[in-house]
Structure 1
Amino acid sequence: MNAPAQPEITIYSTAVCPYCVAAKNFLQSQGRTWTEVRIDKDPAERTRMVERTRRTSVPQIFVGETHVGGYDDMIALHRAGRLAPLLDGGE
């Protein structure tokens, strides 16, 4: 029986964002990899992020197509025991 594929993690971030760094450090500590989208370098990506999230702050974190939110949202999910199953491809 195959385990479900791990969904791709996407982080919308900027260069000078301590919560972005904290989010990446946390994910790294969990052995995860991600794709970083720098909205400070690409205004079109900033627009896309706001359209997808209805938020203007960074980081904005997606696991697959699931919008996790920002750093605090991700840590709250982790503390509730709901982040690992999401990262592992479950619900």
Structure 2
Amino acid sequence: MPEIEIYTKDYCPYCKMAKAILQRKGAAFLEHSVSDNPELFDTMVRRAQGRRSVPQSFIGGVGIGGADELSLLQERGQLDLILQGERSTLDTDEPCFRCLVQ
């Protein structure tokens, strides 16, 4: 399974939802709380290509997005493929998945 990182804030319901999606998959992830850490927040914004909202998740170093994107990937059955490292199976015509194509 590729490395999973998620940037969160302590009080964020969307962060809790994103973490719950990954936990239901049995996916281990490294959580970075940006609640009181401006330097870490700046790192997240840089990695997320300017996106400032939390959560921001990265799987295998690739920016996935937030809870909505994770939920949509889950609904489409694509999250399992990403977690297995099979990103090439994604529908690249979907705007929210363009960041996955390298």
TM-score, length-normalised on structure 2? Answer: 0.79
Alignment match of 2:21 (pick from 18, 26, 32) = 26
Whether 2:6 is the aligned partner of 1:11: answer yes
Question: What's the counterpart of residue 75 of structure 1?
Answer: 71
**Which amino acid in 1 is paired with 2:72?**
A
The whole-number CA distance in structure 1 between the counterparts of 2:24 and 2:45 is 28
Checking the alignment, whether the CA contact within 8 Å between 2:7 and 2:57 is kept in structure 1 is yes
The whole-number CA distance in structure 2 between the counterparts of 1:11 and 1:68 is 10
Whether 2:42 is the aligned partner of 1:47: answer yes
Larger RCO of the pair (alpha carbons < 8 Å, separation 6+): 1
Count of residues in Structure 1 that have an aligned counterpart in Structure 2: 86
Secondary structure in 1 aligned to 2:81?
Answer: helix
Whether 2:55 is the aligned partner of 1:59: answer yes
Gaps in structure 1 of 5+ consecutive residues: 1-5
Aligned-pair identity in percent equals 40
Give RMSD over aligned pairs: 1.0
Alignment match of 1:36 (pick from 27, 31, 35) = 31
Gaps in structure 2 of 5+ consecutive residues: 88-102
**Which amino acid in 1 is paired with 2:61?**
E
